[in-house]
Amino acid sequence: MQMTSRDVRTFTLTVPSAQSEERLDVFLSQKGLYGTRSQIKRAIEGGRIRVNDRGVKPGYRLREGDLILVVREAPVEYDLAPQDLPLDIH
């Protein structure tokens, strides 16, 4: 099995006034930047998503001008080869 090295991508978002008071997890989910809300929640709890350089909860209410830091790792790619296994089916 061969695995590629992880590619880390970091980007920031500034919250506009129109999204003020919106939940962080909902905001990111609507932007489509990190997958499902469950994945976003795990990323927030794992410190891969921060607001104003500090950890927050997924339900954090955004404020205009908040700076959201998102760290995404590219998926790991595997080189899987099929195996010829003998099967005895009765």
- How far is residue 88's CA from residue 90's CA, in Å, rounded to a whole number? 7
Reported as type and span, the H/E element at residue 39 is helix 37-45
pTM greater than 0.85 (yes/no): no
2, part of any domain = no
Domain assignment of residue 90, yes or no: no
Answer yes or no: is 81 within a domain.
no
State how many domains the chain has: 1
54 assigned to some structural domain? yes
Q: Tell me if 21 is assigned to some domain.
A: yes
User: What's the average model confidence in pLDDT over 72-88?
Assistant: 79
- Boundaries of domain holding 29: 7-74
Q: Classify residue 1: in a domain, yes or no.
A: no
- Per-chain mean pLDDT for the chain: 85
Find tokens 């590219």 and name the residue: 74
Domain contains 32: yes
Exposed, middle or buried: residue 49 (CB in 10 Å: 0-12, 13-18, 19+)?
Answer: buried
Render pLDDT for 5-35 as a digit per residue (tens, 0 to 9): 456 688 899 999 999 999 999 999 998 877 8
The reply to whether 84 falls in a domain is: no
Partner residues linked to 23 by β-bridges:
61
pLDDT at residue 7, rounded to an integer: 60
Q: 80 pLDDT exceeds 60?
A: yes
List the CATH number of the domain containing 38: 3.10.290.10
Query: Which positions ≥6 away from 1 have C-beta within 8 Å?
Result: 78, 79, 80
